[in-house]
Structure 1
Amino acid sequence: MLYRSGQAFDFVYFPLSGFISLAVTVEGHQSMEMGLIGHEGMLGVSLVLGVDVVPLYAVVRGAGTALRMSTKEFKYVLRNCPIFQSMLDRYVCVLMAELSQTIACTGFHDVKSRLARWLLMINDRANNDRFYLTHQILAEMLGVQRSAISIAAGLLQHEGSISYSRGNISVLSRKKLQAASCECYMAILHEYERLLTPTPA
């Protein structure tokens, strides 16, 4: 775990590979993932809004490399580089949209659709068709029981979207996985493309 909710930021992180999960916990219940950060984003974006404490738990789910900057250095660059500030303002908007979409997705869509969505998001950020996530980790990510993950993963495997054995997941067909996913995946992807794709000079 990189940070616990309410902890002060010492460093911000810019993942180059792998991914970080943002999770919320409710007393008496297991944690649930709200968003993912990969090479498209950063951990510590609340500093852009002047908030120095971590709003959500931050957990490394996919091992990789990242660039690290102290909070002091980050604030200095933020004050003195308008382009950097502008890009991070856009990223804040995208992350807010992703968190909101995740809340709606959790309330309205079935486990299989949600699992397909998360696997697509992980696939995007991991830059790899193979990654390691146990049933327990996936259950925590979606806020469901392990048995529900077993059923959903079994259905996706039967459809030829993935292969899954002892935590080793391989994406066999993104097309089939996307067909199994709810519309939330494309909704967030469009927001990333709309707000973060560089425009020609």
Structure 2
Amino acid sequence: MIQNQLLAALSETEHRAVVCHLRKVSVSLREVLHQANAEIKYVYFPETCVISILSTMEDGSTVEVGVVGNEGMLGLRVLLGVKKTPHLAAVQVAGSALRMSADLLDQDLKGVGSSLRPLLLPYTQALLSQVSQSVACISQHSIRQRLARWLLAMRDRIESNSLEITHELISLMLGIRRASASENLRELQDRGLIATRRGGIRIVDSQGLENIACECYRIVKEEYDQLYSENSR
């Protein structure tokens, strides 16, 4: 069963041509898949894992500017003919992914009958929309709104209301103090929207969480929903 939605959109013939270049790998929590300003050696098609694209400041602090789950691929700069990335990419939910050599992907994309290019181009647009919306979100919305959006986005990608994440991870992803993460999580729990436990969070009231989340969640979700709809035709 193909768990990555981009690869699932390939025809049977196209999939057979691509699958020989893919290797299934297990990735662990916080494993770094791409180093900032380093050569991209592999691209990843997540299956059950979730990967964060992080911008790192001079003081070492980080903030998430993009996230990739089973809807897409990590390493889109290869599509643009660029083999380096300014961002760090690290695993935020452990799981499996399909890995391909960046050189092999580059060769496929340059081919006349590339099967991946028609899928990756619209996905690139969706990811760029996500990144630009994240930038606006950081500057315009409260921590509580951003936290609600982030929890919902995580839920969508792992397709479960039970999230194996810590307060520390949330603070790193949102670029906030751990105390602020804990305070806002406690407020969401007091409202009956989530239930927290050591090392995890369970979403109890999705609609209530959506009501608190900023419009960025809806905008990005609609972009990806449109992508999935077009790929299924």
TM-score in terms of structure 2 length: 0.82
CA contact (8 A) 1:114 1:182 kept: yes
Is the counterpart of residue 185 in structure 1 residue 221 in structure 2?
no
Partner of 2:230: helix, strand, or coil?
Answer: coil
Partner of 1:41: helix, strand, or coil?
Answer: coil
For residue 74 of structure 2, the aligned residue among 37, 43, 53 is 43
Distance 2:228 2:83 in 1: 24
Q: How many Å apart are 1:79 and its aligned residue?
A: 2.6
CA contact (8 A) 1:15 1:67 kept: yes
Where structure 1 has 5 or more consecutive residues not aligned to the other structure, the ranges are none
Aligned to 2:169: 137
Percent identity, please: 35
Q: How many Å apart are 1:73 and its aligned residue?
A: 1.7
Distance 1:101 1:73 in 2: 31
Aligned to 1:198: 230
Q: How many Å apart are 1:193 and its aligned residue?
A: 2.1
Mapping of residues 10-89 of structure 1, within 5 Å: 10-80=41-111, 81-89=113-121
Q: How many Å apart are 1:196 and its aligned residue?
A: 4.1
Partner of 2:39: helix, strand, or coil?
Answer: coil
Distance 1:95 1:162 in 2: 27
CA contact (8 A) 2:81 2:106 kept: no
CA contact (8 A) 2:119 2:231 kept: no
Where structure 2 has 5 or more consecutive residues not aligned to the other structure, the ranges are 1-31
For residue 202 of structure 2, the aligned residue among 158, 163, 170 is 170
Aligned to 1:121: 153
CA RMSD of aligned residues (A): 1.5
Partner of 1:65: helix, strand, or coil?
Answer: strand
CA contact (8 A) 1:134 1:167 kept: yes
Q: Deviations over 1:34-66 (max 9, x none)?
A: 111000010111100111012310000101111
Aligned to 1:94: 126
Partner of 2:85: helix, strand, or coil?
Answer: coil
* Residue range with higher mean Cα deviation, 43-52 or 83-92: 83-92
Amino acid at match of 1:134: T
Distance 1:92 1:55 in 2: 17
Distance 2:151 2:174 in 1: 11
Q: How many Å apart are 1:82 and its aligned residue?
A: 4.0
Q: How many Å apart are 1:83 and its aligned residue?
A: 4.4
Distance 1:199 1:126 in 2: 20
Amino acid at match of 1:4: Q
CA contact (8 A) 2:166 2:198 kept: yes
Distance 1:12 1:199 in 2: 20
- The change in CA–CA distance for 1:149 and 1:200 in structure 2 (over 3 A counts) is closer
Distance 1:33 1:180 in 2: 20
Amino acid at match of 1:112: R
Partner of 1:91: helix, strand, or coil?
Answer: helix
Q: In the comparison of the two structures, how many residue pairs are matched?
A: 201
Q: How many Å apart are 1:200 and its aligned residue?
A: 6.8
